[in-house]
Amino acid sequence: MKRVRIVALREDRKRLLEHIQDSALIQIKKPDKKNKGFSKVDVASQMQVFERNVQLCETTLKILDEYAREKKGLLSSFSGRKEIDPDDIGVIASNSGKVIEICRKINDLNKKIVDNSAEQIRISTSLSQLEVWQKLDIPINTEDTKSTAVFIGSLPAEYTDKELSDTITQENSKLEFEFEIQYCENKMTCLVLFVPISQKTMAEDVLRNLGFSKPMTGTSHTPAIKAERLRKRSKELLIDSEKAENEIVALSDNREDIKVTQDYFRIRADKYSVINELDHTNHVFVIEGYIPEKDYEDLVKLCERVSTCYIEAWDADEEEAPVKLKNNRFSTPAQSILTMYAPPSHADIDPTPLLAFFFYFFFGMMFSDAGYGLLMVIAIGIILKVFKPDTQMRNNLKLFQYCGVSTFFWGLVFGSIFGDAPAVLYNYFTDSQITMAQMLPWPTLDPQKDALMLMIISIAFGLVHILVGMGCKFYICFKQKDYAAAFFDTGLWMLMLVGFAVIGVGMATTQTVLYIGAGIAIACAVGLILTQGRNKKGFGKVIGGLASLYDVTSYISDLLSYSRLLALGLTTGVMAQVFNMLATMFGKGVVGMIFMIVIMLLGHAINIGLNALGSYVHTMRLQYVEMFSKFYEGGGQEFEPFSLKSKYIKIKEDK
Amino acid sequence: MFTNGMFFALVGASIATALAGFGSAKGVGGAAQASMGVLSEDSSKFGKMLVLTLLPGTQGLYGFIVGFLILVNCGVLGGDVPSIAQGLAFLGASLAIGIGGMVSGFAQGRAAVSGIAMSAKDDRNFSKAMVSVTLVEIYALLSFIVSLLVVISVPALKI
């Protein structure tokens, strides 16, 4: 990684930055301190405009999704961004104003619909309140006349005419009154009460005692007319909203344009946020950043082509510089597994190739079915061809494709092709009793019968995996010239594990081998006791050495952990077998055939889903917990070049 | 009373399948509740939540496989009818994955709930959450392997 500094004329700024953004060669580094004689250019206001436009497009797309859902295929999430010609950017830019106008319009229409539906709710509350006054033939707001006071309202109980008049008389026998009950149901009585104006206060007291309340919705028309008007208004609003909705649907043809425009503004906002950080003088500006060594020539060529500038580069400080992973086609797909854990720091080696190999290998061993493997390879091949996904998605798919290849081979080793489907189907149609092992021309290792054997094999693979991890540690220590750590901390343990392996072999074969293994192990143990306390003082030296032997438990538990290779391999096989068995249980009639096909398809789909997930998760765990813990530090910064970070479009490279 | 060990073998198959399934059901159920809480806020996390939710589901599978292998070896779906001692051996073997699977299913379910909460806060925590949750699984695995090794060797035992 190199540090690079480009000094160029301000008039070239737009062109140069655009080209750098297109090429995605350098990661821009903010100046750490204020440099004398330089100042910043404030472009925050432009940036805000761009960001607001991005936001506007985003909400518009959401609105469009609500009213006119985009028709998407089931697999469309695999498809890559749309490719556009570099020359089209000018067109997009000149159209952007128009598109933003459309976005505003869609937003306004949406606001109208939202407002309308809020008003609809208000209307429907008013209507339900007016419901009980439908029979009233005077306005609710009717005022007192010269001689008569009018009370219109409700009481919180049900009364008949007689009960009400009795109740009022009981409250105040002097009160003269006349009333009319409008509505009486649900613990509520709506009434109109007339009293002489001289007795108004008396009547108010009586009514208050009875819990009288005035209606919420006042109107100077009769309730019937008011309700009619409200209904009419509601209908108008409905039509209005519908019209607005139709307009939005009509405008949804612009969806693609909006997406493209959003990306356009997103890219520009990115660029301006970089400009905001750069140092400027009156005539020149300075870009500082990191660049991978091999790309430096390209950058120089590019800059000289588009601007008048001065470029200098020097070796970057390793501790601060970001890390760019560089891998071949075989191991690149596994890079995402590595970065999910942590990008390597400057002290680490890049373990991706090892990771990739073991990832494919173990995944295949766990998923272990030739049929499923083939299916993965073919399905992913088709998806890659048809949808042309973006780099990251393509790498993820490739990861599973390679895993599929390994799954295929392990399936052949275990004699499992969609479980025992070939044998089951053969037996089903010919009424014979053949097994997979008899059917396949090559010798197979049946995880069910030879489980113990397979467990030993799994742990042996585990041993290799762990030794490789420790080998990396050895290499790293050696490179840092920490020979004590390399030989004593790592080397002795590696030898010790080898010793254990030899003991294991010896137990199965001859005594001599066993003694050799035991000799190695004991020698290593002595070595460890002698060396592990080397940084401690006095008595601590012995204790430290002895205590280090306790680590043997962690190695044993690590090794046992690899028995999951057997367990998951077995799970896939047995589940497939169970479904095959279920499928052929319904006899040979037409119905039986239909059942067979349905159960097989469904069963194997479930099996693939469950066990692919299990294999993925557990393979990952073996890498992270068992292998990485031996040597990998992580915690580096990933190289993130200044580039076109778009969501929907990508720009075709000039060829 | 018993002339052969079929009954014990079948009880064993049931114990293996049901207890381990019980553990997984509880684990997955709790994790699913937690993940639905997260999904109600942000449905785009479905894939990750699904992975974490399904992790405590393996115990049930292991139990089922041991149950199935017992059926295959005890004369129900193949194999010979076991002697009483062999039947008891099947029963004994099923206890390992039954109990181990059940308890580790509970524990893994709780770990998965925490993992879901963790990766809901920050997507980058997902791989850490996932690995931490699988740490529990080793104990279910060990139980499974013990059950498995016993079940497949019982038919050959002269007891």
**A28 contacts A274 by C-beta, under 8 angstroms:** yes
Among partner residues B62, B131, B152, which is closest to A621 by beta-carbon distance?
A: B131
H helix runs in A131-214, sequence order: 161-171, 200-210
Question: Of A191, A214, A237, at which residue does a domain stop?
Answer: A214
Averaged pLDDT for residues A410-439: 88
Half-sphere CA count of B89, side-chain side, radius 13 A = 21
Whether A376 maps to a domain, the answer reads yes
Whether A640 maps to a domain, the answer reads no
Residues A607 and A468 in one domain: yes
Question: Of A198, A214, A230, at which residue does a domain stop?
Answer: A214
Whether A409 maps to a domain, the answer reads yes
Reference A472, options A630, A633, A636, A635; nearest CA is A630
Which helix (DSSP H) or strand (DSSP E) does residue A189 occupy?
strand A188-196
Give the rounded percent of residues in chain A with a pLDDT score beyond 70: 99
Residues A431 and A569 in one domain: yes
> Residue A9 forms beta bridges with which residues?
A284
Q: What is the per-residue pLDDT across B71-129, written as a single tens digit (0 to 9) for each?
A: 888 888 777 888 899 999 999 999 999 999 999 999 999 999 999 999 988 877 888 88
**Average pLDDT across chain A, whole number:** 86
Could you count the other beta carbons within 10 Å of the beta carbon of residue B57?
22
Residue B22 pLDDT class (50, 70, 90 cuts): very high
State how far residue A608 is from chain B, nearest Cα, in angstroms: 14
**A608 contacts A406 by C-beta, under 8 angstroms:** no
Which has more confidence, A365 or A197?
A: A365
Query: Which residue of A449, A456, A564, A615 is the best one to mutate when testing the B interface, meaning the one whose CB has the most B CBs within 10 A?
Result: A564
Whether A290 maps to a domain, the answer reads no
B122 in contact with A at a CB cutoff of 8 Å?
Answer: no
Reference A575, options B58, B28, B74; nearest CA is B58
Q: What is the per-residue pLDDT across A337-379, written as a single tens digit (0 to 9) for each?
A: 888 888 888 778 888 999 999 999 999 999 999 999 999 999 9
**Which tokens belong to A281?**
């003088």
**How many domains does chain A fold into?**
2
Whether A19 maps to a domain, the answer reads no
Closest residue in chain A to residue B61, using alpha carbons only = A571
Residues of A with CB under 8 A from a CB of B: 340-341, 448-449, 451-452, 455, 557, 560-561, 563-564, 566-567, 570-571, 574-575, 578, 581, 610, 613-614, 617-618, 620-621, 624-625
Residues A203 and A345 in one domain: no
Whether A494 maps to a domain, the answer reads no
Q: Is the pLDDT of residue A574 over 60?
A: yes
Q: What is the per-residue pLDDT across A256-279, written as a single tens digit (0 to 9) for each?
A: 888 888 888 888 888 888 888 888
| Neighboring chain A residues of B135 at a CB cutoff of 8 Å | 621, 625
Give the DSSP letter of residue B15.
H
Q: Which domain, by its residues, includes A202?
A: 141-214
Residue written as token pair 């373990």: A351
Give the DSSP letter of residue A39.
E
pTM above 0.95, yes or no: no
Q: Is the pLDDT of residue A73 over 80?
A: no
Whether A104 maps to a domain, the answer reads no
Residues A467 and A603 in one domain: yes
Window B:27-86, CB contacts with A under 8 Å: 51, 54-55, 57-58, 61-62, 65, 68-69, 77
Residues A434 and A575 in one domain: yes
> Which CATH number characterizes residue A194's domain?
3.30.70.2750
Query: Is the ipTM, as predicted for this complex, more than 0.85?
Result: no
B118 in contact with A at a CB cutoff of 8 Å?
Answer: no
pLDDT at position A400 is: 93
Q: Is the pLDDT of residue A93 over 50?
A: yes
* Cα–Cα dist A405/A428, whole Å: 29
Domains observed in chain B: 6-156 (1.20.120.610)
Whether A539 maps to a domain, the answer reads no
Q: Is the pLDDT of residue A655 over 50?
A: no
pLDDT at position A434 is: 85
